[in-house]
Structure 1
C-alpha cells in the first residue's frame, strides 16, 4: 500500500471517532498477554489475581483519557509520543526518554512474540523460537507494506473474533459442565483460589495498578491513537475502551476454571494445552485460534508500526536532518527489523512465563509514572533531571529485585523515582517563594 507521506503512514488520512477509536484501542490492548497471562494471574494469586489483572488495564486506559486530553490541549499537532517529548524536553532529557522507549519496544515485541510462539507450540508442537520467527516475518511484511490502514482493518476482525470467543466459549463450557460442578471442583482441588483474605493476591492487585498505569501511559501505539482521535472524543473513547477491556481478561480467566476443576496441573502451559484439548467443537476451536492469533498479530503489528514511526519520525531525523521521507521510512524498517530479530534471539536464552515478563518490565513502567505526569502537567520545557529520575528509579528497582523479588522491586522503582521528582519540585517551589520575598 502506497502512502503519500510519513504522516499518512503513521496516522492515516483522517481523524477517527469513538467507534473506530474504541476498536483500535481494544485491538491494541487485547493481546496475547491478556489471553495467556490473565489465567496465569488467577492460578498464581487466586480470585484477586484475575480481578487485579482486569483492573490494571481498565483503570489505566480510563485514566489515560484525561491525560491525553491534557496532551492534545498543549500539543495537538504531534504524531507520536516522541513528538511530545521533543516539544517538552531538552536534548539530553529527550534522548534519555527515547532510550527508555526503545527498551520498552523490545519488551513489547518480545512478549507478544512469546505469546505467539507459545500458541504455535501448543497447537503444532513447533519450538517457541521457530514459531516466533515465522510470526515476526509475517508481521514485518504486513505492517511494513500495510501501515496504519491495514492495521485498522485487521482490528475490526480481531475485535469481532475476540468478543465471540470471550462470550461463546465460556458460555458453552459452563452450560456443558454446570456452574455448580465447576464451583465444587474448585473448592475441592484448588480452594486457595477462592480465599478472600489472600494478602499476596491483594498485593498483586495494587502492584498491577502501577504496572498498568506505566504501561499504558508510555505505550507508543496508544499515543498514536490519541493523536488519531478527534479532540472532543478522547475522554469518552478511553473510558469506554477501559470498561470493555476489563471483561476480556475476566472471561479468559474463567475458562481456566473449567480446566482445573477436575484435578491438578503441572504448569501454566499444560493448562493452556488442556484448554485447547477440551474445546471439542470445531467451530469454537477455530474461533479460539483466530481470537488468539488475531490478538497477538494485532498487538505485535501495532507495536512494530509505532516503533517504526518513532524511529523514522523522531530518531533518524535528528541524526540525519537532511533525510527525505523515503529514507526515514527505510531506516525505520531496518531498525525495527533489527530490534525484532534481537527479541527473537532472546528467546534462545530466556523462556520466562508471560506473567514473569510483565513483572520484570513492570519495574521500568513503574519508574516512569510520576516523571511522565510531571512532564505532561508542567508548563514549558522540563529539566533534564526529571527523565533522570526515571532512570535512577528503574536502576534502583532492578538492583533491589535480587533481594526483594519482582513485585517489591516495582514498588521500589516507583517510590524512588517519585521521591526524586517530589524533591526536585519542592526545591524549585521553595526557591520561587524565596525569590518572591
Structure 2
C-alpha cells in the first residue's frame, strides 16, 4: 500500500505548529497548580476561546451532522441548542462554585468534601470511564476524518492525532492546552463560517429542500417521535456532560470570578451556531441521496463533493483542530484530576515540583491509553455520547442539589447514582439508548431529592470554603 506522504506531511506540519505553540505557552509553568489551572485569571476573550475550543469537539463537527442525518431538522437544532444551553447553565453554576469552594481545583475537590469518600470513589471511577470515553470519541473522529478526506489509513491517522496532542499537553498542561486552543478556535470558526455557505452556494437552498421533501420528508417534521425523543434525551446528555466534566470545572476556576457568568453565557451562544451550521451539511446528503460508508463521515463527504477539494481540506483543518483541542483538554482533565486527587494523597510529602512531574507522566500515560482504546471503532461518535450519557444523567441532579441544598443526603446520592446507572443501562440495552439516558436522569432525580426529603442530611458550607487552604484539613 502506497502511503499519501504529501497529506501526512501536511498533517505533521499543522501538528508541529500546535506543538510549537504548546511549548511556548509552557515556559511560564513552574508548579503543579499552574499545570492544573494555568494562571487562574482568564478574562472573557481567553476564557471564551478555551471553552469554545474544548466544547467545539470532533463530536460537534461530526456527530452534529450525524444527528441531523438521522433526525433531520430537530436533530440539528436539538444538538446545537441543548449543548449551548448547558454551557450557559454551567455559567450560573460557576458563580456558585466560586462562592462556596473558592480554592478548589477539580470537580473531585467538591465531590469528595460534599458527599464523603465512598461517594467520591464511585464518582471518580465513573468519571474516569466518562473522560476516557470522550478521549476515544475524539481519537475515532480523527482517524475517520483523515481517512475520509486525506486517505491516510485509520491507524496511522489515530497515531498522528494522539502524538500531536500528547506532546503539547505534556509541556505545559492547562496553560499549553488553553494557549493552543486560542489558535485552534479561530481556525474552527473560520471554516464553520465558510464551508456550509460554500456548499449551499453550489447546490442551492431550494433544490436541497425539494430533495428532502422527496427523499426524506420525515426529516423536516417537527413532530417526528424519534426526533422528539432525541431532543429530550440529548438535553440530559449535554447538561449532564457539562456539569460532570472536570474540564468545565477547571475553566470555572481558571476564569476570573467577576466575568465567569458572562464568559460561559457568551460561549454557549457562540457554540450553538457552530453545530447548527455544520449539521446543515447533512441536509444536502439527505436531499441528493448521498450515503457515507460510515455515518460519522457525512459532513466531510458533503464538504468534499459539493464544496470542492479546497472545502474538503478546510473542513479537515477545522475538524482536526477541534479533535486535537478536545482530546488535549480531556487528557489534561483526567491526568490533572488523578494528579490532584490521587497522587497528592498517595504521596502526601510530594512537593509541587514533584506533583508537576507526576502530571506530565500521567499526561503521557493517559494519552497512550486513549490511543490504544481508539484503535477499534466500536461505536460512532453520537452513539458513544449517548452511551456515556447514562453516567452523566446519574450525576446531574446530585451535583446540582449538593451545591445549593445543605440537606442533600450523601447516602441518598450513593443510592441514587447506583440505581440510576443500573436502571439506565438496563433500559439502554433492552428498550433503547436515549430511553436509557432519560431513565437514568429520572431515577437519579427522584431518589436524590426523595430520600433527602425523608431523611435530610446536614452539611456545613465552611468545609467547602476551607478546601485548598492551609487550614483545610482532611477533605472527608
Is TM-score (shorter-chain normalized) higher than 0.5? yes
Who is 1:53 aligned against? 79
Q: Tell me, yes or no, if the aligned pair for 2:158 and 2:375 is still in contact at 8 Å.
A: no
Q: CA deviation at 1:384?
A: 4.5
Who is 1:434 aligned against? none
Secondary structure of 2:379's aligned partner:
coil
* C-alpha RMSD of matched pairs (Å): 2.2
Who is 1:399 aligned against? 426
Q: Tell me, yes or no, if the aligned pair for 1:182 and 1:258 is still in contact at 8 Å.
A: yes
Who is 1:226 aligned against? 252
Q: Tell me, yes or no, if the aligned pair for 2:76 and 2:279 is still in contact at 8 Å.
A: yes
CA distance in 2, matches of 1:184, 1:380: 56
Q: CA deviation at 1:330?
A: 3.4
CA distance in 1, matches of 2:30, 2:360: 17
Farther off after superposition, 124-133 or 134-143: 124-133
CA distance in 1, matches of 2:240, 2:307: 39
Q: Tell me, yes or no, if the aligned pair for 1:211 and 1:363 is still in contact at 8 Å.
A: yes
Q: CA 1:382–1:419 in 2, change beyond 3 Å: closer, same or farther? A: closer
Candidates 88, 91, 109, aligned match of 1:62: 88
Q: CA deviation at 1:301?
A: 0.7
Give unpaired runs (5+ residues) of structure 1. Answer: 432-437
Q: Tell me, yes or no, if the aligned pair for 1:62 and 1:241 is still in contact at 8 Å.
A: yes
Q: CA 1:367–1:269 in 2, change beyond 3 Å: closer, same or farther? A: closer
Q: CA deviation at 1:423?
A: 2.4
Matched residues, number: 431
CA distance in 1, matches of 2:116, 2:319: 42
Candidates 260, 272, 289, aligned match of 1:246: 272
Farther off after superposition, 44-53 or 283-292: 283-292
Q: CA deviation at 1:155?
A: 1.8
Who is 2:353 aligned against? 326
CA distance in 2, matches of 1:82, 1:113: 25
CA distance in 2, matches of 1:335, 1:301: 13
Who is 1:28 aligned against? 54
Who is 2:394 aligned against? 367
Asked if 1:376 corresponds to 2:424, the answer is no
Who is 2:14 aligned against? none
Q: Tell me, yes or no, if the aligned pair for 2:90 and 2:243 is still in contact at 8 Å.
A: yes
Q: Tell me, yes or no, if the aligned pair for 2:145 and 2:297 is still in contact at 8 Å.
A: no
Post-superposition CA distance 1:133-185 (Å, at most 9, x none): 33112211110113223222222222222221121112222222221122112
Post-superposition CA distance 1:369-416 (Å, at most 9, x none): 111112212339962541442133112211232211211111221122
Secondary structure of 1:322's aligned partner:
coil
TM-score by length of 1: 0.92
